[in-house]
Amino acid sequence: MHLFDAARHFYGGNAIVGGGLPLAVGLGLADLMQGKRQATACFFGEGAVAEGEFHESMNLASLWRLPVLFACENNLYAMGTALARSHAQTDLALRASSYGMPAWAVDGMDVLAVEEAAQRGLTVVRDGGGPCFLELRTYRFRAHSMYDPDRYRDKAEIEQWKTRDPIDGLISRLRADGDLTDSDLDAMEREVSDELTSAMEAADAGPLEPVEDLTRFVYSERS
């Protein structure tokens, strides 16, 4: 949740629901002021759309025509609360469009549809068209966290959504088009498995963080 790597232009997750939205607006404003033809992509869930900073961020981004692509992963449940129980307007793309920015919904279970929508939005943003909003309509198969008993939805609903698994769907399409063979898939799965194993071994072998570092970066440090 607190990963950060400025060298790779990854400005971190955020423990506060919707907390990344104003940060993305700030990054977009900085790029605009410096004349950079760049785009900031901000990912958040539908639960963040109920937060005040969502509306503030949408308003400022549109008002100042900032180069930000807002990507809302709408999986229908904000932790354990169904979308219809917390939002009077469940069409989130429609709500975002009220701020005067291009906004549309996409089948979030279709990898190629998401790619096409993202490219379309980024083109608008990078060409100076202001911000765009994508509502990626998707679903999570597992509980929100290890502490979530997941009793707020029907198990049959989960199984129904699993039939539209985006990875399985993409594999089927690539196979049908002749772009992926079983040996290709096996090789990719081995490569991913080896990378994960290597990362876990490196983490286990790494030294513990010194206690003295607990308060580092809480405040800026004088050089």
Q: What is the mean pLDDT of the chain?
A: 94
Region of poorest pLDDT, from 7-16, 36-45, 100-109, 181-190? 7-16
Q: What is the pLDDT of residues 35-56, one digit of tens each?
A: 998 999 999 999 999 999 999 9
* Of 7-11, 28-32, 213-217, minimum mean pLDDT range: 213-217
223: Cβ contacts below 8 Å, ≥ 6 apart: none
Given a cut of 90, is residue 1 above it in pLDDT? Answer: no
pLDDT at 2: 75
Six token digits for residue 207: 């030294």
pLDDT of residue 220: 79
Q: What is the pLDDT of residues 132-149, one digit of tens each?
A: 999 999 999 999 998 999
For residue 179, count CB atoms less than 10 angstroms from its CB and return exposed for 0-12, middle for 13-18, buried for 19 or more.
Answer: exposed
Q: Which residues pair with 136 in a beta bridge?
A: 73, 106
pLDDT band of residue 3 (cuts 50, 70, 90) is: confident
